Amino acid sequence: MKVCIIGSGNWGSAIARIIGENAAKYDEFDTSVHMWVFEEMIDGKKLTEIINTQHENVKYLPGYKLPENVVAIPDVADAAKDADILVWVLPHQFVPKICQQLKGKIKKTAFGISLIKGVHIKDKGLELISQMISDELDGMRVYALMGANIAKEVAAGNYCETTIGCSDKERGAQLKKLFEVKTFRVVVVSDEHTVELCGALKNIVAVGAGFVDGLELGDNTKAAVIRLGLMEMIAFAKAFYKNVEVSTFLESCGIADLITTCYGGRNRRVAEAFIRTKKPIEELEKEMLNGQKLQGPQTAYEVNQMLKKEGLEDRYPLFTAVYKICYEGHPANEFIECLHDHPEHI
């Protein structure tokens, strides 16, 4: 089976280290792994050329070598044309454009797995990224991988866990083999939608955690944000999706990812700077993330559109406060006020 990685930011490059290793190790995978790279010039050289000669993504994951069997390709259709497994790992805002470029140019038998933590609004309804990819690419089956997986720690080989949502046992076993190494433990569950939804919603909570840090309110307050945020994640999943397994929230994709993101992720970091500096989020994103995109505020906006449509903003005060502070100029202390009278306390 031939694997193509669609995306090459810090997370895409970190996961490429694992995929490249396993593709070379196991006979069922083609040794050569294509990685689509958005072409950029770095000190007068093309990024793809640097990756293919130095075997390092010097912009997004400097200091970590990529396996030599990972080949950077600047044209996404060329990268994916022979692939059996498409690994999606790019900011969710760019997915529709990439799907358009791949339409009619990939194998009909190919399937995908999304590592993208976000959601999409379609006709004022919420759509998971896996569903959006599937709809755009003639019903291609797309699964999800989410977990407490900060890219640089994964690249460094620090032990962590992740969750794959896949209801097909055979493909679940294949994906586990593709992604699991000694320091990256994979658990496969059948609750696909919940796995993916956790990956998106936790970024909203992480923005709230960043507000707490910016306001210097301490760990007790942050713990309350994490707990109430988790409760809103569970309530949201149950309200909008069927057959949600609450136990999935106890996997790495749920509580573990939530804790990690609220202490170490980029959404928390930028949200703290937003409170301290009063600069716009877009400006901070450019200053702090080296070309990477922030998911939390955008997801808060998209979720809020859904909540407004259903008249449910009051049921999700934490999600709603993050949206209003980020997009409507509400003062940050409103975030703490929303915690006092949270529905979970009634």
Contact by Cβ (8 Å): 22, 31 = no
Query: Where does the pLDDT of residue 277 fall: very low under 50, low under 70, confident under 90, or very high at 90 and above?
Result: very high
Q: Per-residue pLDDT tens for 123-136?
A: 756 789 999 999 99
Residues 6+ apart with CB under 8 A from 140: 86, 106, 110, 111, 112, 133, 134
What is the percent of the chain where pLDDT is above 70? Answer: 99
Average pLDDT over residues 72-79: 97
Q: Per-residue pLDDT tens for 180-208?
A: 999 999 999 999 999 999 999 999 999 99
**Main-chain phi, psi angles of 202, to 5 degrees:** -65, -25
| Mean pLDDT, rounded, of the chain | 94
Set 117, 202, 222, 324: catalytic member: 202
Judged against a pLDDT cut of 70, whether residue 248 lies above it is answered with yes
121: alpha, beta or left? (left if phi > 0; alpha if psi -120 to 50): beta
Q: Is 202 a catalytic residue?
A: yes
Q: Which residues of 48-70 are buried (b: 16+ CB within 10 A; e: fewer)?
A: bebbbeebebebbbeebebbebb
Query: Where does the pLDDT of residue 287 fall: very low under 50, low under 70, confident under 90, or very high at 90 and above?
Result: very high
Our measurement of the distance from residue 52's CA atom to the centroid of its chain's CA atoms, rounded to an integer in Å, reads: 26
What pLDDT is stored for residue 120 in this prediction? Answer: 81
Average pLDDT over residues 286-313: 89
The SS3 assignment for 128 reads: strand
What pLDDT is stored for residue 124 in this prediction? Answer: 58
Query: Where does the pLDDT of residue 345 fall: very low under 50, low under 70, confident under 90, or very high at 90 and above?
Result: low
Q: Per-residue pLDDT tens for 32-66?
A: 999 999 999 999 999 999 999 999 999 999 999 99
**Greater confidence, 337 or 27?**
27
Tokens of 317: 């005060």
Contact by Cβ (8 Å): 186, 176 = yes
- The total number of residues written for the chain in this structure: 346
Tokens of 254: 């749920």
Closest CA to 153 of 250, 243, 64, 283: 64
Query: Where does the pLDDT of residue 342 fall: very low under 50, low under 70, confident under 90, or very high at 90 and above?
Result: confident
Alpha helices in 278-316 (DSSP H): 281-288, 296-310
State the first-to-last Cα distance of the chain, in angstroms, to the nearest integer.
Answer: 53
Judged against a pLDDT cut of 90, whether residue 325 lies above it is answered with yes
What pLDDT is stored for residue 292 in this prediction? Answer: 75
Query: What's the sign of the alpha-carbon dihedral 91, 97, 100, 101?
Result: negative
**Is 314 exposed, middle or buried (CB count within 10 Å of its CB: 0-12, 13-18, 19+)?**
exposed
Rg (CA), the chain: 20
Judged against a pLDDT cut of 70, whether residue 92 lies above it is answered with yes
Judged against a pLDDT cut of 70, whether residue 346 lies above it is answered with no
Q: How many C-alpha atoms does 317 have within 13 Å on its Cβ side?
A: 14
**Is 317 exposed, middle or buried (CB count within 10 Å of its CB: 0-12, 13-18, 19+)?**
buried
What is the percent of the chain where pLDDT is above 90? Answer: 86
Indicate the pTM of the whole model: 0.92
The SS3 assignment for 68 reads: coil
Average pLDDT over residues 205-215: 97
